[in-house]
Amino acid sequence: MNALQRDLKKLVPLVESLGAAKADSDPHRQKFHVQPPVGWLNDPNGLCKIGDTYHVFYQYGPFDVNGGVKHWGHVISRDLLHWERLPVMLYPDEPFDCHGVYSGSALVEDGTMYLYYTGNVKHPGNFDYIKQGRGHNVCLAVSRDGVQIDSKQCLMYNKDYPAGLTCHVRDPKVFAYEDRYYMVLGARTADDRGEVLVFESTDKLHWAHSNTLTTPAPFGYMWECPDLFELDGQWFLAVSPQGINCQNVYGCGYFPVYGDWRGKCTLGEFHDADFGFDYYAPQSFADGSRRVQIGWMGMPDADYGNKPTVEYGWQHCLTVPRVLTHDGRGHILQNPVPELAAARGAAVAVPDGAEQAVSTCFNLTAAPQGDFSLRFDGGLTLAYQEADRTCRLTFTDTAMAAGRTSRTAVLDAPCRRLRVVGDASSLEIFLNDGAAVFSTRYYPAGSTVTLRTAALDAVVYPLHL
Ligand code: FRU
């Protein structure tokens, strides 16, 4: 352990203990979503399961509610609903990661955790920190007990990446496939195009660039947080592209991959992963035979925010874990993990035209038959129009919105299934069995929210968490 790590190991728990009572007194504190004890959270990192324990890490800024230098926060769970906080796993305490332990992933082998991440380094000088002045290093931390790091090292510096790139090369996602290990890295080229670099290795330590995945025409200037996985025989490349035309500041979605991504292949049509205000940088992992994905319920550089929680010294949370499946036509379906059903209380019917106050922690299901609307406390409306299969989420109450306005999704098929998962300050809306999703933070005035339906018979279950 170096001297900086020794001090950070004392300082982080100290700022957490100073801020915890205030953060925990916030009525908008989430009940079953991963959130930081204090300070800032962004991307989920290092998702994995060892034995019967799920590990979730996240980009964590304990010293600054608006960001600050990134650490890896750590929580564990047995059911993906109840989370126990463990000490910070990775600190920015080495010359190769001193300006932030950025995003990355976990590979688990024989119970040992191999955490691959980006060490962010900003060299002093008059640099733009895009084309010059920044180190984005691939680093590896190894942990045998899943709680403490045994070793940390830098595996690749910018000089080890292919030519023609900026300094922005980050977010390693590592996985084993057939007889090798693979790593995908998000990159911004020198001519400002987003792409994904594929590296391979036989020993987890030495990596060789073996392929590059991109679109024939430029699609944004940077692809953050790549993920590459197979669902029912179809491979998908998930990325968070910056610089594309979309409803939010940055995009977030996936391409079906046709051909072998280790060699010649093409990326199919890009699909948005989410249509809400707050969804970015998701990561998935194989949980037995199912694939579970968690996203950040936030959006970088958005012109709206989370003032109500910032006032209590914390900001942002992750999404509910979702199971991914393939619809057989190049689309991914996302649905909350079935574990959530265990928290359901007795069903409450909310018939067409009714008004019903429910706990903000709820699960709503309905089977729409045509146009419908669903209002939350009179300040937020979800409205569907069958004629053009358009679903719109619109805030009309400024306190509830904290700057959010309206978002739209055009569905591929008429809306026949609706599911909403609510927590104290978030809504995740799943349409047509997860073919389209809206994830958003919202700030209802109390611990109950009044639902009002029009042309919709809904069933609501309070969630006991
Ligand atoms: C995405 C991202 C990643 C980076 C991390 C830093 O939100 O910008 O590309 O590794 O956040 O916190």
For the CA of 103, the closest atom of ligand 1 is 10
pLDDT grade, residue 218 (50/70/90)? very high
Q: Look at residue 159 and give its three-state secondary structure.
A: helix
Rounded to the nearest whole angstrom, what is the distance from the C-alpha of residue 138 to the centroid of ligand 1? 14
Pick the last residue of a domain from 335, 356, 387: 335
Nearest to 417 by CA among 457, 359, 453: 457
pLDDT at position 204: 98
Tell whether ligand 1 has an atom less than 6 A from the beta carbon of residue 171. Answer: yes
pLDDT at position 94: 97
C-alpha 14: how far from its chain's center? Answer: 27
Q: Which helix (H) or strand (E) holds 21?
A: helix 3-24
Residues 314 and 35: beta-carbon distance below 8 Å: yes
Rounded average pLDDT over 5-28: 97
| Owning domain of residue 148 | 3-335
For residues 71-85, one letter each, b for 16 or more C-beta atoms within 10 angstroms of the residue's C-beta and e for the rest, the string is: bbbbbbbeebbebee
Q: Look at residue 436 and give its three-state secondary structure.
A: strand
**DSSP structure class, residue 309:** H
Q: DSSP characters for 337-390?
A: -GGGGGGB---EEE-TT-EEEEESSEEEEE---SSEEEEETTTEEEEEEGGGTE
The pLDDT tens digits of the residues spanning 88-116 come to: 999 999 999 999 999 999 999 999 999 99
Residues 144 and 272 in one domain: yes
Distance in angstroms (rounded) separating the CA atoms of residues 86 and 140: 20
Residues 127 and 12 in one domain: yes
For the CA of 118, the closest atom of ligand 1 is 10
Pocket test for ligand 1, best of 224, 318, 319 (most atoms within 8 A of CB): 224
pLDDT at position 125: 97
Rounded average pLDDT over 150-176: 98
Rounded average pLDDT over 285-302: 98
Q: Which amino acid is at 156?
A: M
The tokens of 54 are what? 């799920």
pLDDT at position 181: 98
pLDDT beyond 80 at 454: yes
Distance in angstroms (rounded) separating the CA atoms of residues 159 and 363: 50
Q: DSSP characters for 48-108?
A: EEETTEEEEEEEEETT-TT--S-EEEEEEESSSSS-EEEEEEE-S-STTTTT-EEEEEEEE
Length of the chain: 465
Largest CA distance in the chain: 64
Domain of residue 83, CATH code: 2.115.10.20
pLDDT at position 265: 98
Residues 464 and 345: beta-carbon distance below 8 Å: yes
β-bridge partners, 140:
116, 153
Residues 83 and 39 in one domain: yes
Residues 329 and 432 in one domain: no
Q: How far is CA 209 from CA 96, 164, 212, 293, 416, in A?
A: 21, 14, 8, 26, 45
232 catalytic residue (yes or no): no
Residues 307 and 376 in one domain: no
pLDDT at position 163: 98
pLDDT grade, residue 429 (50/70/90)? very high
The tokens of 291 are what? 């694939």
Domain of residue 400, CATH code: 2.60.120.560
Residues 138 and 248 in one domain: yes
Rounded to the nearest whole angstrom, what is the distance from the C-alpha of residue 43 to the centroid of ligand 1? 7
Residues 348 and 331 in one domain: no
Tell whether ligand 1 has an atom less than 6 A from the beta carbon of residue 423. Answer: no
Residues 327 and 369 in one domain: no
pLDDT at position 326: 98
Number of folded domains in the chain? 2
Dihedral Cα 300, 301, 307, 312, nearest 10 deg: 50
Tell whether ligand 1 has an atom less than 6 A from the beta carbon of residue 300. Answer: yes
Q: Look at residue 386 and give its three-state secondary structure.
A: helix
Residues 316 and 355 in one domain: no
Residues 350 and 327 in one domain: no
pLDDT beyond 80 at 364: yes
pLDDT at position 2: 86
Alpha-carbon Rg for the chain, nearest whole angstrom, is: 22
Residues 151 and 225 in one domain: yes
pLDDT at position 1: 77
Pick the last residue of a domain from 281, 303, 335: 335
Rounded to the nearest whole angstrom, what is the distance from the C-alpha of residue 455 to the centroid of ligand 1? 42
The pLDDT tens digits of the residues spanning 37-93 come to: 999 999 999 999 999 999 999 999 999 999 999 999 999 999 999 999 999 999 999
Distance in angstroms (rounded) separating the CA atoms of residues 91 and 60: 10
Pick the last residue of a domain from 304, 335, 366: 335
Distance in angstroms (rounded) separating the CA atoms of residues 116 and 47: 11
C-alpha 78: how far from its chain's center? Answer: 20
Residues 286 and 408 in one domain: no
The pLDDT tens digits of the residues spanning 164-212 come to: 999 999 999 999 999 999 999 999 999 999 999 999 999 999 999 999 9
The pLDDT tens digits of the residues spanning 130-143 come to: 999 999 999 999 99
What is the pTM (predicted TM-score) of this model?
A: 0.98
* % of the chain at pLDDT higher than 70: 100
